[in-house]
Amino acid sequence: MNPRKPSIAVYKFSSCDGCQLSLLNMEDELLDLAEAVDIAYFLEATRAARPGPYDIAIVEGSITTEHEVERIKEVRRDAKILIALGTCATSGGVQALRNFADHKVYASKVYEHPEFLHYLPTSTPIAEHVAVDLELWGCPVNKRQVLEIITALLNNRRPNLPQYSVCLECKRSGTVCVLVDKGIPCMGPATQAGCGAICPSNGRGCYGCFGPAKSTNVDSLVHILRNAERMPGETERLFRGISGNAPAFQMAAESFISKEKK
């Protein structure tokens, strides 16, 4: 008799669906994964859905409404292991820009009738509401890192994920440093590796999509970026970007703003 395959559920909260698409982009790997696990709930892939509880819940997106606050608690109750997938789920994503401004002003600029909206004044990561067992950063996530996490869980081992910054990815690929060579502001020295240094390899600075690197002198990078600014406030906007709600980047931006006011 074959042993029961672990069940997996994939959920979407406030997000662009990019991280779920990264799962679907596994292509051949997804077929092998389907043989090892039971994909019980994944509305991006199929309308068929089986009720929980599930062994693993993968959650994409941030918490931005009262409904999502209650829903993530239900997801947590139905899952033995919960994985926060992508930068929205791990730090609030680009929608967390409203955390540093007047959300009512933003709503009035975008919508003709903002009074019809029902949302929270902040966008927050999953871990601020329920216990999270694993976090995987990225906007979108690296599909091979997703596969590594699931494989590690199935084999009862710790996932083998990079613990260094994007700079090392540049060096390994032979990409010339855009900050040193071209004076282009780049978040690579402070950003967790995982994207393959896509932006620097195309002549653009890193935007910090994969969140803060585990060990980085962010204060030193702020000083360097300020000297490389091509327009006023560029450094602040970089740290207030996609991963801007991450504590390390948030503190760097606040420190930068306070120094500018002196």
138 vs 223 pLDDT, higher one: 138
- Sorting pLDDT into bands at 50, 70 and 90, what band is 92? very high
Rg (CA), the chain: 20
SS3 214: coil
pLDDT for 47: 87
What residue ranges do the domains of the chain occupy? 7-154, 166-261
DSSP 184: -
DSSP 139: T
Q: Does domain 7-154 have CATH number 3.30.2400.10?
A: no
pLDDT for 1: 40
Q: Is the distance from CB of 55 to CB of 6 less than 8 angstroms?
A: yes
Q: Is the distance from CB of 202 to CB of 170 less than 8 angstroms?
A: no
**CA–CA gap between residue 186 and residue 180 (Å, rounded):** 10
**CA–CA gap between residue 151 and residue 5 (Å, rounded):** 13
Q: Helices marked H in 37-65 — which ranges?
A: none
The percentage of the chain sitting over the pLDDT mark of 90, rounded to a whole number, equals 77
pLDDT for 259: 61
pLDDT for 188: 96
Average pLDDT over residues 26-41: 86
The answer, yes or no, to whether residue 167 has pLDDT greater than 90, is yes
Q: What is the mean pLDDT of the chain?
A: 92
